[in-house]
């Protein structure tokens, strides 16, 4: 596992760390501005999104250079900028960001691959009328993803995580008029939500237990020494410690986002979104966010491990990862949609990454994440190019022979495919997958993950060969004339292809720079590493895997041009297994019969409750109020008004009576005068009596 | 008291009663003339010769004639249709009775403080004339003014309106 | 009864009768007649008090009565003139019918 850091910690925030927040902020601001544009302006949207992301890329490169410089000088860079968001009582809610090797590497990958895909999208979405909305959402996604990467506060990470989920929903359902797209978006959101609930539970528990939301806080962070010992000592349930329980809860969230075994069902359906979305979100970045999360909280997952040993949390991660890798690879064999094959491949590779994290540590898992991002994005964009060239055709049985029609796409796709298969030496995929297999082989608990991963690799090579044969070799079985894509789409392909090859350099045993960088150790160049027997064994194993997979695939599918209607060669051989694989092991049907059915039943019950019980209560109260109102009205009309009216009538009558004194007749006045005089005289007499 | 007093008083009271009770208006006018005459005699019996003769001259000679003229000009000689007494005549009678009761009671209660007999005042018309221009010159002048205004006013009020005039 | 008291009683009687006439009869002229009677009764009062009063040589009562007669005459003239004017306007001297000031 990880060796003790020999480097000195560098914790003070440098200038670049202080402005690190600009990296996610720029694309989010660009997204906001685009959303406020009155009419869709393509040029403005393009300039804003690509400009902001380029700026973020520039800042990421500067940050990366700074961290590398620090590493070269023997410093373990972990610069944090934390601040309090709000405070209630004695608890504070803190936010902040961190600049360390892990985040700097991820920043560069996300911004670089993101920028290439943005440029690719200019060409891909050129004919779409909702171009501006696309770039608005894309920028928002980029900003949120970068927020997840730099976050030092688990709350800020969760907030960015949720925005990432939101933009994924918006982008999968980009063509919302299609019912399948809308359903896929909803499915993605709900499935990841299940994971997020557990994640939130983990966050709350962690906060309650450690009292802080920050990961790193000069020793007081939630995954730093003091807090970890506390978490380890706290028992949870089933004999597990709080550290393990929280780790498992957080892994549940990661499993949802990264499509691990029970929560993988949304990823294949997410292919309803446009291809750049599939490339960026569902290959390179968002699905990798789960892996990144586990890497970020790795000290928590690893807490309590003895040297060379493992923890229960990591064991779970390993098993889930290995199972996912094999499961998805099996399904990918029997798919006919070009993007779905790649989707299942992504799920499978994510399983590899998780297994890598569990078996070999942060560096192993992250290295595969980085290399996978490049060649999977390359493959998806290549697939997009193929779909674009074949006029929106996505079924591989209706393609073929495109290597002559689309040479550049074929070349880059081929490089990506070889990297994915792990063809030795020249391709980065080999080096990263090799590291995982090496860790699996050395796992103390069981060799089963190793065999699962090996078999998965064979299947990967097999189905990729099948896909390439169907698409690029043989004769063209489609109806439209295929053409190469414009340069704005093929140039990013070329750049990614270059990196798919070149990235392998930083992960070889001879110069394990990546590993050393992430683990804060020194990296020595030693070509002797190539001569070690263990490594040579592994090299042999990989060669066998590749030969088996590609060879088997070529024999079955090779240069043949199977009829679109005819059953697949493998299907003819083992029809029963084929059916199971094609129907994705009936997981979706299982969910539909259990959870979804229960949910629908529950929704009906709730509706009945709402309408009858609560609605009835409300209606009863309303009726009571109506009654009361009637009573009031009765009182008002009869009692109040009656009294008032009667009173007024009396006054009126009285007034009338009084008015009758003014008869207008002089004699009456005279009479009253005389009477008054008499009365006055009487009073005077009376008062003057002695 | 001398029998003359009683006779004259009776005449006066009778005349007054007749004036208010008779139905034909002209008869009332004549009756009130009788009452005026009775009062003049009473003045004379009180040694107020000037007042007595002034009463005869003014009241009987002018006011009564005026009344008769007014009756004639307002066709009072015809008997009215609705009766001569007001609808609420009883109230009037009661009130007058109350007034008389009050006055009578006041007179009778204080009778014993009034002097029994007094000497005849040695007052001549000459004295009256002197007093008019000496002590009472202001009231005299004002009354003259009043009479002028009254005359003019009465003429204007009773004048026929000209056709087309405002 | 002293002579003064008897004269006063007579005056009071005439006054009451005059008042009754003014209050009871319908005709406006009769109201004026009643008023004249009342004035006369008051004159009688004045003269009686002058005669039997302490200082008859001051001529106060006599003067009052004389002026009263003069003013009464003027007032009768104006009043009757008004009655004539009203008769010309309303064609009647019935007071019960004259309630234009009603209300």
Which value does ipTM take for this structure?
0.90
CA-closest candidate to residue A665, choices C80, C25, B8: C25
Give the DSSP H/E element, type plus range, for residue A619.
Answer: helix A615-634
pLDDT of A593 higher than 90: no
**Separation between Cα atoms, residue A549 and residue A417, nearest integer Å:** 12
In a domain, C25, yes or no: yes
Is the CB of A678 less than 8 angstroms away from the CB of B96?
no
Residue-level pLDDT at B81: 67
Mean pLDDT of A61-80: 85
The helix/strand/coil state of B118 is coil
Instruction: Tell me how crowded residue B161 is: count the other CB atoms within 10 A of its CB.
Output: 10
C13 part of a folded domain = yes
Q: What span, in angstroms and rounded, lies between the C-alpha atoms of A609 and A603? A: 10
Instruction: Output the domain CATH number for residue C46.
Output: 1.10.287.3510
Q: In the predicted model, is pLDDT for residue A614 greater than 90?
A: no
* Mean pLDDT along residues A197-207: 92
Residue A607: Cβ within 10 Å count = 10
Answer yes or no: are the C-beta atoms of A580 and A586 closer than 8 Å: yes
Number of domains present in the structure of chain C:
1
Calpha distance A59→A52 (Å, rounded)? 11
Could you give the CA distance from residue A545 to residue A547 in angstroms, rounded to a whole number? 6
Cβ A662–C31 below 8 Å, yes or no? no
Strand ranges in A46-159 using DSSP code E only, listed in sequence order: 75-77, 79-88, 91-99
Lowest mean pLDDT among A524-528, A619-623, B110-114: B110-114
Phi, psi dihedral angles at C102 (to 5 degrees): -65, 150
Percent of chain C with pLDDT over 90: 49
Cα distance between residue C65 and residue C54, in whole Å: 17
Is residue A3 over pLDDT 80? no
The answer to whether the predicted template modeling score (pTM) of the entire model surpasses 0.80 is: no
What's the angle, vertex CA A387, arms to CA A115 and CA A39, rounded to 5?
Answer: 55
pLDDT at C41: 96
- Interstrand relation of A8-10 and A75-77 (parallel, antiparallel or unpaired): parallel
Confidence band for B114, pLDDT divided at 50, 70 and 90: low
Q: What does the alpha-carbon distance between residue A384 and residue A91 come to, in Å, rounded to a whole number?
A: 50
**A5 pLDDT exceeds 70?**
no
A190-212 mean pLDDT: 90
Task: Determine contact, residues A314/A301, Cβ cutoff 8 Å.
Answer: yes
The residue-averaged pLDDT of A471-500 equals: 80
Please check whether residue C102 lies inside any domain of the structure: no
pLDDT tens per residue across span A91-148: 888 888 888 889 999 999 999 999 999 998 888 888 888 888 899 999 999 999 999 9
Cβ distance A9 to A101 under 8 Å? Answer: no
Q: Which fold has domain B1-80?
A: 1.20.120
Q: Chain A window 623-682: which residues touch C at a Cβ cutoff of 8 Å?
A: 659, 662-667, 670-671, 674
Nearest to C9 among B86, B104, B155 (CB): B104
Question: Closest residue of C to A671, CA-based?
Answer: C23
When scoring B3, B41, B44, B63 by the number of chain C Cβ atoms within 10 A, the one with the most, hence best to mutate, is: B63
Q: How many CB atoms lie within 10 A of CB A631?
A: 10
What are the residue boundaries of the structural domains of chain B, listed by start? 1-80, 123-166
Angle, vertex CA B13, rays to CA B11 and CA B17, nearest 5: 115
Segment of A42-51, A474-483, A577-586 carrying the highest mean pLDDT: A42-51
| Residue C101 maps to a domain | no
Cβ atoms < 10 Å from Cβ of A15: 9
User: What pLDDT is recorded for position B164?
Assistant: 46
- Residue among A346, A322, A361, A291 at smallest CA distance from A450: A322
Q: Tell me the pLDDT band of A640, cut-offs 50, 70 and 90.
A: confident
Q: Which structural domain, as residue segments, surrounds residue C78? A: 3-90
User: Do A317 and A354 form a contact (C-beta atoms < 8 A)?
Assistant: yes
Phi-psi bin for A262: left (phi > 0), alpha (psi -120 to 50), beta? alpha
pLDDT digits 0-9 by tens, C30-60: 999 999 999 999 999 999 989 888 877 788 8
CA-based nearest distance A653→chain B, Å: 23
Q: What is the pLDDT of residue B117?
A: 67
**What average pLDDT does range C22-27 have in this prediction?**
88
Q: With CB atoms and an 8 Å threshold, state whether A664 touches C96.
A: no
Cβ contact, residue pair B98, A685, below 8 Å: no
Q: Is residue C17 part of a domain?
A: yes
Percent of chain A with pLDDT over 70: 96
- Give yes or no for a contact between A165 and A189, defined as CB atoms under 8 angstroms apart: yes
φ/ψ of residue A559, rounded to 5: -90, 10
Radius of gyration over every alpha carbon of chain A, rounded to an integer in angstroms: 37
């Amino acid at each position: 596992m990880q060796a003790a850091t020999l480097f000195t910690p560098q914790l003070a925030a440098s200038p670049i760390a202080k402005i690190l927040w600009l990296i996610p902020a720029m694309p989010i601001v660009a997204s906001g501005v685009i959303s406020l544009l009155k009419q869709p302006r393509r040029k403005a949207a393009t300039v804003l999104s690509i400009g902001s992301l380029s700026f973020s890329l520039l800042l990421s490169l500067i940050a990366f250079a700074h961290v590398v410089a620090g590493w070269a000088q023997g410093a373990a860079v972990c610069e944090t900028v934390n601040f309090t968001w709000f405070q209630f009582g004695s608890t504070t809610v803190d936010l902040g960001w961190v600049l360390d090797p892990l985040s700097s590497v991820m920043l560069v990958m996300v911004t670089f691959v993101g920028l290439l895909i943005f440029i690719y999208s200019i060409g891909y979405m050129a004919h779409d009328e909702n171009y501006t909305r696309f770039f608005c959402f894309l920028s928002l996604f980029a900003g949120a993803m970068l927020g997840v990467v730099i976050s030092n506060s688990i709350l800020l990470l969760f907030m960015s995580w949720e925005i990432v989920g939101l933009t994924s929903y918006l982008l999968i359902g980009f063509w919302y008029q299609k019912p399948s797209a809308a359903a896929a978006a909803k499915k993605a959101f709900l499935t990841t939500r299940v994971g997020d609930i557990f994640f939130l539970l983990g966050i709350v528990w962690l906060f309650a237990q450690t009292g802080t939301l920050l990961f790193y806080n000069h020793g007081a962070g939630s995954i730093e020494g003091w807090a970890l010992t506390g978490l380890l000592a706290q028992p949870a349930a089933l004999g597990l410690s709080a550290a393990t329980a929280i780790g498992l809860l957080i892994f549940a969230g990661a499993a949802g986002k990264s499509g691990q075994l029970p929560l993988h069902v949304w990823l294949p359906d997410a292919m309803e979104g446009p291809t750049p979305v599939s490339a960026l979100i569902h290959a390179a970045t968002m699905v990798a966010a789960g892996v990144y999360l586990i890497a970020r909280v790795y000290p928590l997952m690893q807490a309590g491990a003895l040297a060379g040993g493992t923890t229960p949390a990591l064991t779970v991660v390993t098993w889930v990862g290995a199972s996912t890798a094999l499961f998805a690879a099996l399904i990918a064999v029997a798919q006919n949609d070009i993007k779905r094959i790649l989707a299942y491949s992504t799920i499978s590779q994510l399983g590899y990454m998780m297994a890598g994290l569990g078996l070999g540590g942060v560096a192993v898992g992250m290295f595969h994440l980085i290399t996978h991002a490049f060649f999977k994005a390359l493959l998806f964009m290549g697939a997009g190019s193929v779909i674009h060239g074949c006029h929106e055709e996505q079924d591989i049985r209706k393609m073929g022979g495109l290597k002559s029609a689309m040479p550049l796409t074929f070349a880059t796709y081929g490089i990506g495919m070889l990297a994915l298969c792990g063809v030795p030496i020249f391709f980065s995929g080999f080096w990263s997958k090799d590291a995982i297999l090496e860790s699996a082989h050395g796992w103390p608990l069981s060799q089963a993950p190793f065999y699962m991963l090996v078999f998965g690799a064979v299947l990967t090579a097999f189905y990729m060969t099948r896909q390439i044969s169907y698409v690029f070799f043989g004769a063209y079985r489609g109806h439209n004339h295929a053409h190469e894509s414009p340069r704005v789409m093929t140039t990013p392909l070329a750049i990614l292809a270059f990196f798919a090859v070149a990235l392998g350099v930083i992960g070889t045993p001879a110069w394990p720079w990546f590993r050393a960088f992430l683990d804060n150790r020194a990296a020595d160049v030693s070509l002797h590493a190539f001569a070690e027997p263990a490594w040579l064994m592994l090299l042999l194993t990989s060669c066998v895997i590749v030969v088996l997979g590609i060879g088997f695939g070529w024999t079955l599918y090779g240069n043949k041009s199977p009829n679109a209607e005819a059953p697949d060669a493998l299907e003819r051989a083992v029809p029963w297994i084929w059916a199971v694989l094609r129907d994705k092991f009936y997981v979706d049907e299982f969910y539909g019969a259990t959870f979804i059915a229960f949910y629908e039943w529950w929704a009906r019950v709730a509706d009945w409750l709402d309408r009858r019980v609560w609605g009835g209560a409300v209606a009863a109260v309303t009726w009571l109020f109506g009654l009361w109102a009637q009573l009031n009205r009765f009182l008002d009309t009869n009692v109040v008004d009656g009294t008032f009216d009667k009173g007024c009538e009396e006054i009126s009558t009285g007034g009338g009576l009084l008015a009758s004194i003014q008869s207008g007749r002089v004699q009456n006045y005279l009479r009253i005068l005389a009477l008054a005089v008499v009365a006055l005289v009487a009073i005077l007499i009376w008062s003057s009596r002695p | 008291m001398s029998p003359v007093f009683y006779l004259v008083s009776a005449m006066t009271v009778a005349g007054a009663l007749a004036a208010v009770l008779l139905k034909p208006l002209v008869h009332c006018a004549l009756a009130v003339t009788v009452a005026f005459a009775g009062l003049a005699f009473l003045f004379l019996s009180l040694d107020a010769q000037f007042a007595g003769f002034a009463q005869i001259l003014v009241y009987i000679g002018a006011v009564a004639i005026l009344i008769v003229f007014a009756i004639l000009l307002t066709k009072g000689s015809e008997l009215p249709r609705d009766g001569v007494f007001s609808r609420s005549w009883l109230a009037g009678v009661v009130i007058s009775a109350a007034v008389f009761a009050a006055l009578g009671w006041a007179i009778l209660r204080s009778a014993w403080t009034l002097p029994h007999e007094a000497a005849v005042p040695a007052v001549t018309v000459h004295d009256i004339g002197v007093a008019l221009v000496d002590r009472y010159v202001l009231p005299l002048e004002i009354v003259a003014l009043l009479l002028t205004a009254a005359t003019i006013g009465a003429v204007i009020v009773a004048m026929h309106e000209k056709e087309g005039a405002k | 009864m002293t002579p003064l008291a008897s004269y006063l009683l007579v005056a009071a009687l005439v006054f009451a009768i005059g008042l009754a006439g003014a209050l009871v009869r319908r005709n406006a002229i009769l109201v004026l007649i009643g008023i004249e009677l009342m004035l006369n009764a008051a004159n009688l009062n004045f003269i009686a008090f002058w005669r039997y009063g302490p200082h008859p040589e001051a001529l106060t009562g006599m003067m009052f009565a004389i002026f009263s007669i003069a003013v009464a005459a003027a007032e009768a003239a104006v009043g009757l003139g008004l009655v004539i004017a009203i008769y010309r306007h309303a064609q009647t001297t019935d007071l019960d019918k004259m309630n234009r000031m009603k209300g």
